[in-house]
């Protein structure tokens, strides 16, 4: 026997296999799901059981074969009693029967032996022919006190060629479980493709294999089986030919074949440790090969899923950068708002109030005259409104372009997963116009809030900057006084009141203020300030609009893929198992 295995390592492997899954809807989904299912069952049925069984536990001998080949009859003749229910009807055995000496029951490790099956005590051989409870797989345990059959655990398998998928799955589980296989065939089925495949799988799993050709009176059939079928299996196979025997054995009969049959079937008890070692090695190697396929497929799927996510992110980044280039060409009215607020912070009491009232009154008068000239219903958009409308159109254009490009990504950057792509993008490109408009409006509202906060922060920073330079601050006050008091009074004296030219005084003060501030910070400083503002606004578009409404709907439908650390553990386990070893 191999050194005791670490049950914890196999438990971790079982957890990892239970947690992984393949992307549904692909062309290979059914095939790779079958491989994963087989790997899980092989680990559960054989390796985890052997990790818990004592070293001297009896070997497990499974009697298998196709429909109506006489499996149950052979089983009964080996033990010398009608233990297994037999019938000429197909699918007679619906649940396996485990025949074990009562002293060897503990070696089955209840809870580890066929853990996904329900154990039922057999009271009558016909119990195995009863229909199982819906959704529950069972096996029947039949204990005995016979020393002549002690030392092996005999298991009667359902048909390997059953028309019921559940029976075929049980038969495969029992093949994984076995240390030795007694395969029963007949002249009608000995070379069926399914039977030959089962025999080849048994030798690949390194099971001790005894082939019983039942009803084999035809010498040509027996020779063909020995000389054609058996050599192609690639392993050491014992062949035994039996005549047709009655289903119910009579121990008092002295048929010579019965003793030979018993020796062949019960022989594994004399080499139980070696048979268990070989079967465990074969199971580990097979699991290693299956895990290698599972890992390769998981890596391929993870790579394609990551590529889809990466390409979708690149689409958003390209649209973000396009928006930044657009903003760079637009007037920087936000900086003007900063300067106006700085002026308000450096107000000259009384004079500024008088000036603001006069400028406001003249502005209303000028607006009224303009309406008379244009007509009452005509309006002219301000520069700020024109820029806001251009901004809105650009944002909507970028959102629609990003949404279209994102839905094309799964087709352009998938290979193995391409068949699943339609399910990921279904309905994503057909967003109603109203919904798009609402999404754009919500972004622009968020952007206005961010802009207002930015203007206030920059205003405060520039105020502090001017206050830290007394000469610049005093110059500002002087310019405001000259422009608003001196020029204003002169204008009033010459015209006997404030006139339209006084409106230019405020604009001149603002220009002078901007020049002072630019001397404080420098032109390059304000260029960097605009670049920073543009970068932040573009990032807001990326985060609030593009990610949420162009990429998130697709990404939410993408399978997560396997966690990298889990994939690493599976790959490491596959490498160990592939050598016929068990991970420690």
- Measure the CA–CA gap between 291 and 572, rounded to whole angstroms: 10
253 and 334, same structural domain?
A: no
- 350/257 same-domain check: no
Question: Are 177 and 94 within one domain?
Answer: yes
Domain boundary among 271, 306, 322: 271
Assigned domain for 34 exists: no
Structure tokens at 198: 């089962």
Mean of pLDDT values over 150-171 = 90
In contact, 345 and 555? CB cutoff 8 Å? no
Asked whether the predicted pLDDT for residue 542 surpasses 70, the reply is: yes
Please report whether residue 550 resides in a domain.
yes
Q: How would you list the strands of the sheet with 118-121, edge to edge? A: 118-121, 138-144, 97-101, 153-156, 60-65, 180-185, 208-213, 237-241
How many Cα atoms occupy the beta-carbon half-sphere of 147 within 13 Å? 0
Q: Are residues 507 and 437 in the same domain?
A: yes
What pLDDT does residue 376 have?
Answer: 53
- Domain limit, last residue, from 231, 247, 271: 271
Q: Are 451 and 543 in the same domain?
A: yes
Average pLDDT of the chain is 81
Tell me, what CATH number does 239's domain have? 3.40.50.300
The predicted model gives 105-134 an average pLDDT of 75
CA 526 → CA 336, 350, 532, distances in Å?
Answer: 12, 32, 10
Question: Is the pLDDT score of 536 beyond 50?
Answer: yes
Which pLDDT tens digit goes with each residue over 78-100?
887 777 655 444 444 568 889 99
Say if residues 415 and 430 touch (Cβ distance below 8 Å): no
Listed residue (355, 388, 402) closest to 537, CA to CA: 388
CA dist list (Å): 488 to 140, 319, 476, 511: 110, 50, 17, 17
The number of folded domains in the chain is: 2
Is position 361 within any domain? yes
- In this structure, the answer to whether residues 230 and 355 fall within a common structural domain is no
Same-domain check for residues 256 and 342: no
Q: What is the 3-state secondary structure (H, E, C) of 351-398?
A: HHHHHHHHHHHHHHHHHHHHHHHHCCCCCCCCHHHHHHHHHHHHHHHH
Q: What is the pLDDT of residue 466?
A: 66
Q: What pLDDT is recorded for position 386?
A: 92
Classified as helix, coil or strand, 497 is: coil
Report the pLDDT value the prediction gives residue 245, as an integer from 0 to 100.
59
- Report, in angstroms and rounded to the nearest whole number, the Rg of the chain calculated over CA atoms: 43
Confidence of residue 126 (pLDDT cuts 50, 70, 90): low
CA separation for the pair 440, 541 (Å, rounded): 10
DSSP-based three-state secondary structure for 175: helix
DSSP H helices in 468-548: 470-481, 487-495, 503-521, 523-540
Query: What pLDDT score was predicted for residue 316?
Result: 97
pLDDT for 205 equals: 95
The residue written with tokens 């055995």 in the block is 93
Q: Does residue 543 register a pLDDT over 80?
A: yes
Residue 41, in any domain of the structure = no
pLDDT at residue 504 tops 50: no
DSSP H or E run through 21: none
Q: Are residues 86 and 212 in the same domain?
A: yes
CA distance 19 to 568: 14
415 in a structural domain: yes
Residue pair 476/352 in contact (Cβ under 8 Å)? The answer is: no
Crossing angle for the helix pair 272-328 and 523-540, nearest 10 degrees? 130
Question: How far, in Å, are 64, 71, 170, 278, 320 from residue 160 at the CA level?
Answer: 7, 11, 9, 23, 61
- Asked, for residue 179, whether it belongs to a domain, the answer is yes
How far is Cα 57 from Cα 53, in angstroms, rounded to an integer?
6
pLDDT digits (tens, 9 = 90+) for 234-254: 878 888 887 765 555 555 555
* 521 & 388 share domain: yes
Q: What is the pTM of this model?
A: 0.77
Read off the pLDDT band of 298 (50, 70, 90).
very high
Residue 530, token pair as written in the block: 């605009």
- What is the DSSP-derived secondary structure letter of residue 233? G
pLDDT of residue 167: 87
- Residues 282/200, Cβ–Cβ less than 8 Å: no
Asked if residue 362 has pLDDT above 60, the reply is no
Position 491 pLDDT exceeds 50:
no
Provide mean pLDDT across the span 363-376: 48
Whether residue 276 lies inside any domain: the answer is no
For 38-103, what is the HEC assignment?
HHHHHHHHHHHHHCCCCCCCCCEEEEEECCCCCHHHHHHHHHCCCCCCCCCCCCCCCCCEEEEEHH
- On the question of pLDDT at 280 being above 90, the answer is yes
Q: Are 363 and 220 found together in one domain?
A: no
Q: Tell me, yes or no, whether 298 lies in a domain.
A: no
Is residue 450 over pLDDT 50? yes
Q: Which domain range does residue 439 map to?
A: 330-561
Bridge partner residues of 60 (DSSP): 153
Q: Are residues 256 and 344 in the same domain?
A: no
State the angle between helix axes of 256-266 and 71-79 in degrees (0 to 180), rounded to the nearest 10. Answer: 90
Asked whether the predicted pLDDT for residue 370 surpasses 80, the reply is no
Residues 531 and 423 in one domain: yes
Q: Could you tell me which residue, 377 or 569, shows the higher pLDDT? A: 569
């Amino acid at each position: 026997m191999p050194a005791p295995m670490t049950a914890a390592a196999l438990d971790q492997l079982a957890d990892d296999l239970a947690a992984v899954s393949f992307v549904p809807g692909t062309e290979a989904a059914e095939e790779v799901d079958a491989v994963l299912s087989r790997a899980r069952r092989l680990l559960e049925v054989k390796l985890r059981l052997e990790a818990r069984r004592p070293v001297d536990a009896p070997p497990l001998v499974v009697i298998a074969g196709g429909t109506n080949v006489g499996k149950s009859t052979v089983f009964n003749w080996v033990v010398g009693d009608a233990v297994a229910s037999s019938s000429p009807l197909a699918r007679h055995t619906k649940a396996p029967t485990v025949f074990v000496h009562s002293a060897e029951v503990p070696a089955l490790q209840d809870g580890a032996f066929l853990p996904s099956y329900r154990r039922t005590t057999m009271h009558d051989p016909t119990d195995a022919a009863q229909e199982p409870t819906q959704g529950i797989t069972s096996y029947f345990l039949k204990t005995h006190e016979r020393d002549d059959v002690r030392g092996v655990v005999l298991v009667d398998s359902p048909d390997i060629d059953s028309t019921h998928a559940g029976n075929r799955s049980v038969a495969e589980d029992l093949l994984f479980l076995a240390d030795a296989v007694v395969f029963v065939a007949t002249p009608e089925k000995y070379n069926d493709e399914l039977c030959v495949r089962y025999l080849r799988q048994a030798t690949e799993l390194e099971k001790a294999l005894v082939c019983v050709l039942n009803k084999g009176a035809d010498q040509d059939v027996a020779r063909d089986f020995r000389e054609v079928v058996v050599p192609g299996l690639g392993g050491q196979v014992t062949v035994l030919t039996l005549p047709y025997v009655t289903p119910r054995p009579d121990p008092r009969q002295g048929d010579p074949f019965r003793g030979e049959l018993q020796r062949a079937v019960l022989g594994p008890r004399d080499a139980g440790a070696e048979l268990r070692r070989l079967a465990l090695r074969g199971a580990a190697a097979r699991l290693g090969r299956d895990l290698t396929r599972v890992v390769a497929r998981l890596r391929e799927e993870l790579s394609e899923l990551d590529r889809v996510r990466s390409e979708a992110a690149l689409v958003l980044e390209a649209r973000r950068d396009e928006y930044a280039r657009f903003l760079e060409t637009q007037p920087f009215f936000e900086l003007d708002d900063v300067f106006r607020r700085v002026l308000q912070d450096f107000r000259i009491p009384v004079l500024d109030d008088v000036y603001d009232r006069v400028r406001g009154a003249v502005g209303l008068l000028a607006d009224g005259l303009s309406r008379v000239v244009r007509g009452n219903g005509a309006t002219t958009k301000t520069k700020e409104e024109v820029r806001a409308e251009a901004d809105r159109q650009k944002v909507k254009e970028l959102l629609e372009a990003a949404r279209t490009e994102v839905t094309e990504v799964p087709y352009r950057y998938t290979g193995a997963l391409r068949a699943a792509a339609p399910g990921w993008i279904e309905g994503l490109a057909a967003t109603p116009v109203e919904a798009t408009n609402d999404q754009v409006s919500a972004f622009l509202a968020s952007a206005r809030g961010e802009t207002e906060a930015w203007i206030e922060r920059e205003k405060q920073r520039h105020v502090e900057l001017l206050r830290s330079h007394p000469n610049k601050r005093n110059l500002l006050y002087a310019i405001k006084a000259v422009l608003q008091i001196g020029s204003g009074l002169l204008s009033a004296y010459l015209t006997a009141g404030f006139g339209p030219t006084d409106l230019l005084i405020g604009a001149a003060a603002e220009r002078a203020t901007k020049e002072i501030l630019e001397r404080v910070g420098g032109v390059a400083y304000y260029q960097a300030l605009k670049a920073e503002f543009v970068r932040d606004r573009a990032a807001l578009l990326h985060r609030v609009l593009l990610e949420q409404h162009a990429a998130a709907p697709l990404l939410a439908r993408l399978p997560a893929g396997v966690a990298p650390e889990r994939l690493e553990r599976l790959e490491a386990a596959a490498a160990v198992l592939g050598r016929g070893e068990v991970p420690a």
